[in-house]
């Protein structure tokens, strides 16, 4: 089969690396891709946010059998609907199901209606009522712009002043654009053992009938060591989550995952693809912090290397609604991804620096913001690449990843030094 993956980042490179292992996959394509995807796939220079352009490309390339729509934005505009409309098979939810990520207000109301555990909240579309509510509730409190905001539209406010300023920023100054027309104001959850609370990314494959959890992972969203600084797209991940247990998995399946799939079906929004549950362990059990309608980035970089089952088999089983028929298996051990970023990220940074790669042992470089310019590998984004290492334990894998990172260089490169340490129990 010939398969096209939509997206430009590390997640897409990781998906392509996993698909490449399938004996049934002949040729891979990536729209638009990066310097890493170009090595294993043909990069296609078409704007994937332009439904018409993607449709025309698909119509003129009948040799491509299957499409994987990986990022949130093309899912939110209905790229899967467009491709399925011309008879293409896809992995990824349709627009009406992807809304579980593209509208936080929708996600919250779904959870309320179907009693899925999450933080208490109210939704506002006018500033004065929102401000009155914030003043009534006091701090700490969490403000969320309703729409997609590159993972940056969430403000966890420790003081009332921060909350008042944040509300102004979202609703009046429109710092996150139209995403801030509606705001979700939430109770601030507290972790069972840590503050800020302990979070886990629990991803699952679902075809709308069956849901199969993947191995768990933990992200590091803040820019700097010790979880300080601005939120980013993710500075590193590790798998498995240290506090995950069989009991937690049972609780999450029964109280969160299965009810979510059923709720979406009941609403006529059957979800097929990767459903990502951002969860927090609280003193009142596991609660949903967010849903994503797609694979996480950089979670995918530590999950897919541990997958023993052929990813193409899983993608097809999801598309054909026969996920119950396949057995999904994972390797023992751990995996760590350290993201190497441009100096300045997540604020402004320069691109175009030459990247040199020395000895990285048996680690894998998963490219994100990279390009080839005048025959040289150069930086082309904020998160440039991830160093991915496997090991028997998270500690073994993280030491390997950091040894490799020392042998990769470009001007102003920076990375967090504490990936894989948090939530150690005992």
Span interacting with ligand AMP, options 149-157, 166-174, 262-270, 390-398, rule CB under 6 A:
149-157
The reply to whether 368 sits near ligand AMP by the rule CB under 6 A is no
Closer residue to ligand GLY in complex, CB, 299/310: 299
Of 419, 421, 344, the closest CA to residue 384 belongs to 344
The sign of the CA dihedral 68, 72, 77, 78 is positive
Biggest alpha carbon distance in the chain? 60
Spatial CB neighbours of 94, under 8 Å, sequence gap ≥ 6: 78, 80, 81, 84, 272
- Between CA 282 and CA 198 the distance in angstroms is 8
Minimum CB–partner distance for residue 145 and ligand AMP (Å): 10
Minimum CB–partner distance for residue 189 and ligand AMP (Å): 4
Span interacting with ligand AMP, options 151-159, 322-330, 337-345, 365-373, rule CB under 6 A:
151-159
Applying CB under 6 A, which of residues 39, 96, 123, 151 lies at the interface with ligand AMP?
151
Minimum CB–partner distance for residue 14 and ligand GLY (Å): 12
299 binds, among ligand AMP, ligand GLY, none (CB under 5 to 8 A by kind): ligand GLY
Give the CA distances from residue 17 to residues 11, 25, 116, 147, 221, in Å, rounded to whole numbers and listed in that order.
Answer: 10, 11, 35, 31, 24
Q: Are 204 and 274 in contact (CB under 8 A)?
A: yes
Minimum CB–partner distance for residue 275 and ligand GLY (Å): 12
Closer residue to ligand AMP in complex, CB, 119/214: 119
Of 249, 204, 239, 296, the closest CA to residue 15 belongs to 296
Minimum CB–partner distance for residue 221 and ligand GLY (Å): 7
Span interacting with ligand AMP, options 37-45, 54-62, 122-130, 184-192, rule CB under 6 A:
184-192
Closer residue to ligand GLY in complex, CB, 58/145: 145
Of 101, 392, 406, 421, the closest CA to residue 235 belongs to 421
Rg (CA), the chain: 21
Minimum CB–partner distance for residue 288 and ligand GLY (Å): 14
Place of tokens 């059957």: 270
Q: Using CB under 6 A as the criterion, which residues of the chain lie in contact with ligand GLY when the complex forms? A: 151, 219, 234, 292, 296-297, 299
Closer residue to ligand GLY in complex, CB, 64/235: 235
Spatial CB neighbours of 72, under 8 Å, sequence gap ≥ 6: 98, 101, 102, 148, 292, 293, 294
The reply to whether 31 sits near ligand AMP by the rule CB under 6 A is no
The reply to whether 72 sits near ligand AMP by the rule CB under 6 A is no
Q: What string of H, E and C letters represents the secondary structure of 212-244?
A: EECCCEEECCEEECCCEEEECCCCEEEECCCCC
Closer residue to ligand AMP in complex, CB, 232/370: 232
146 binds, among ligand GLY, ligand AMP, none (CB under 5 to 8 A by kind): none
The reply to whether 186 sits near ligand AMP by the rule CB under 6 A is yes
The sign of the CA dihedral 199, 201, 204, 209 is positive
154 binds, among ligand AMP, ligand GLY, none (CB under 5 to 8 A by kind): ligand AMP
Q: Are 416 and 235 in contact (CB under 8 A)?
A: yes
Closer residue to ligand AMP in complex, CB, 286/289: 289
At what angle are helices 104-113 and 95-102 packed, to 10 degrees? 100
Applying CB under 6 A, which of residues 189, 261, 378, 405 lies at the interface with ligand AMP?
189
The reply to whether 156 sits near ligand AMP by the rule CB under 6 A is yes
Applying CB under 6 A, which of residues 64, 80, 99, 154 lies at the interface with ligand AMP?
154
- Reading phi first (left if > 0) and then psi (alpha if -120 to 50, else beta), residue 333 is in left
Closer residue to ligand GLY in complex, CB, 92/410: 92
In DSSP terms, 118 is beta-bridged to 288
The reply to whether 221 sits near ligand AMP by the rule CB under 6 A is yes
Give the dihedral of Cα atoms 104, 108, 109, 113; nearest 10 deg. 150
Of 109, 175, 163, the closest CA to residue 133 belongs to 163
Q: Which residues inside 160-179 make contact with ligand AMP, applying CB under 6 A? A: none
Q: Which residues form the interface with ligand AMP (CB under 6 A)?
A: 119, 142, 144, 151, 154, 156, 186-189, 196, 199, 221, 278, 289-290
């Amino acid at each position: 089969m010939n398969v096209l993956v939509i997206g430009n980042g590390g997640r897409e490179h990781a998906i392509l690396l996993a698909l490449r292992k399938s004996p049934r996959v002949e040729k891979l394509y990536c729209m638009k891709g990066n310097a890493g995807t170009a090595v294993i796939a043909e990069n296609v220079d078409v704007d994937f946010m332009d439904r018409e352009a993607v449709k025309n490309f698909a119509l003129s390339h009948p040799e491509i059998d299957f499409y994987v729509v990986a990022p949130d934005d093309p899912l939110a505009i209905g790229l899967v609907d467009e491709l399925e409309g011309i008879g293409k098979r896809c992995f990824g939810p349709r627009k009406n199901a992807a809304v579980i990520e593209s509208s936080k207000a929708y996600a919250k109301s779904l959870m309320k209606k179907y009693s899925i555990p999450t933080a208490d909240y109210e939704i506002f579309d006018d500033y004065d009522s929102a401000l009155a509510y914030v003043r009534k509730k006091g701090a700490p409190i969490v403000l969320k712009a309703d729409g997609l905001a590159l993972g940056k539209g969430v403000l966890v406010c420790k003081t009332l002043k921060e909350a008042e300023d944040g509300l102004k920023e979202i609703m009046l100054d429109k710092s996150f654009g139209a995403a801030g027309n509606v705001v979700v104001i939430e109770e601030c959850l507290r972790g069972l053992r840590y503050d800020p609370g302990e979070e886990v990314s629990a991803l699952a494959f679902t075809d709308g009938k069956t849901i199969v959890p993947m191995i768990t992972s933990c992200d590091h969203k803040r820019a700097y060591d010790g979880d300080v600084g601005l939120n980013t797209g993710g500075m590193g991940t590790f798998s498995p989550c240290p506090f995950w247990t069989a009991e937690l998995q049972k609780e999450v399946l029964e109280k969160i995952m299965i009810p979510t799939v059923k709720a979406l079906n009941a609403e006529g929004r059957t979800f097929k693809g990767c459903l990502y549950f951002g969860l927090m362990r609280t003193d009142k059990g596991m609660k949903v912090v967010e849903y994503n309608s797609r694979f996480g980035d950089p979670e995918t970089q530590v999950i897919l290397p541990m997958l023993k089952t052929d990813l193409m088999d899983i993608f097809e089983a999801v598309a054909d609604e026969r996920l119950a028929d396949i057995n999904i298996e994972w390797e023992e051990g751990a995996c760590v991804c350290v993201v190497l970023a441009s100096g300045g990220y997540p604020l402004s940074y320069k691109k175009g620096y030459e990247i040199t790669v020395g000895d990285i042992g048996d680690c894998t470089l998963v490219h994100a913001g990279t390009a080839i310019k005048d025959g040289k590998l150069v930086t082309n984004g904020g998160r440039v690449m991830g160093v991915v290492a496997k090991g028997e334990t998270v500690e073994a894998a993280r030491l390997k990843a950091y040894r490799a990172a020392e042998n990769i260089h470009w001007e102003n490169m920076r990375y967090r030094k504490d990936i894989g340490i948090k939530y150690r129990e005992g």
